[in-house]
Amino acid sequence: MSVAQTINPGVSFRSMVVKPPSHPTYDIKGVIKLALAEDAGDRGDVTCLATIPFEMEVEAHFLAKEDGIVAGISLAEMIFHEVDPSLKVEWSQKDGDYVQKGLQFGKVSGQAHNIVVAERVVLNFMQRMSGIATLTKTMADAACPACILETRKTAPGLRLVDKWAVLIGGGRNHRMGLFDMVMIKDNHISIAGGIINAIKSVDQYLEQQNLQMEVEVETRTLEEVDEVLRYTSQTKSSLTRIMLDNMVIPLPNGDVDVSMLKDAVEMINGRFETEASGNVTLETVHKIGQTGVTYISSGALTHSVKALDISLKIDTELALQVGRRTKRA
Q: List, as residue ranges, the binding site for substrate.
A: 120, 151-153, 175, 185, 218, 245, 277-279, 298-300
SS3 content of the chain, % helix, strand, coil (to 5): 40, 15, 40
Q: Give the whole-angstrom CA distance, residue 60 versus residue 62.
A: 7
Active site residues: 120, 153, 185, 216, 245
SS3 245: strand
Asked if residue 301 lies in contact with residue 132, where contact means CB atoms within 8 angstroms, the answer is yes
Beta bridge partners of 107: 61, 90
Q: Give the whole-angstrom CA distance, residue 34 versus residue 16.
A: 22
Encode 247-278: b = buried (16+ Cβ within 10 Å), e = exposed: bbeeeeeeebebebbbebbebbeeebbbbbbb
Q: Which helix (H) or strand (E) holds 48?
A: helix 46-51
